[in-house]
Structure 1
């Protein structure tokens, strides 16, 4: 019985090693496509006002209103499509690195608005980006050549 369980665990670890980062990449991409697509439609995205205000500040007023929203939407959809398809992945990850600055900028630019005491819904919305950034780091590591190695293979290599 123990040998059967060990064999199943080994097979599961091997499957996860082969597929988990690709599943993470595609699911992260779908999140970006979904959130980006919402931003193409005024009044639909719950983050619209905050994202536009952030880009207005970061661009020193060069981008505002729907133009700012369309830039954000286009960028997020582009990032998402590179993640889902795997095409232009490194370019998408570079764009995402820049976008992450914008994702977290509201904490610096609008801190007192986001935390008037307890965190607002917008502050909580941005907080989820920590998970997206961590997932992007894993996907980026894979894109740059890193790989997972099952524990059994690591033990054999030592």
Structure 2
């Protein structure tokens, strides 16, 4: 999933989350990073996470990357609450996408931390 969604972000207009990624990165960097640089940076980070996940050579590092990624990906829930929430516990489509990432990352962290090399 990370590989696919990351690859989509490599191409302008390739990801439905492109605008949200660009606005979020811009807000988090106080406007220093935005546009194509934000989109490509997000793409490279997601592809990198996919490569680490697929290689399973560094499960602890993978868990750290995943947790860091999910923290950053979750920030629109706080930065843009008017767009993310239609009411109490009524998530927009974008918010549902983000919440799905939380579940996916939680599962990946559990899997990575259960690898024999971690124990």
TM-score band, normalised by the shorter chain? 0.7 to 0.9
Taking the aligned partners of 2:76 and 2:85, their CA distance within structure 1 comes to 11
Greater helix share, 1 or 2? 1
Taking the aligned partners of 2:42 and 2:110, their CA distance within structure 1 comes to 23
Greater strand share, 1 or 2? 2
The higher-RCO structure (CA 8 Å, 6+ apart) is 1
Taking the aligned partners of 2:29 and 2:45, their CA distance within structure 1 comes to 15
Task: State the match for 1:41 in structure 2.
Answer: 11
Aligned residue pair count: 115
The TM-score normalised by the length of structure 2 is 0.86
RMSD: 1.6
Task: State the match for 2:56 in structure 1.
Answer: 86
Q: Which runs of 5+ in 1 are unaligned?
A: 1-30, 146-158
Task: State the match for 1:132 in structure 2.
Answer: 104
Q: CA deviation at 1:40?
A: 0.4
Q: CA deviation at 1:139?
A: 2.3
Task: State the match for 1:123 in structure 2.
Answer: 95
Hey, which bits of structure 1, 4+ residues long, moved more than 6 A?
Answer: none
Q: Which runs of 5+ in 2 are unaligned?
A: none
The TM-score normalised by the length of structure 1 is 0.66
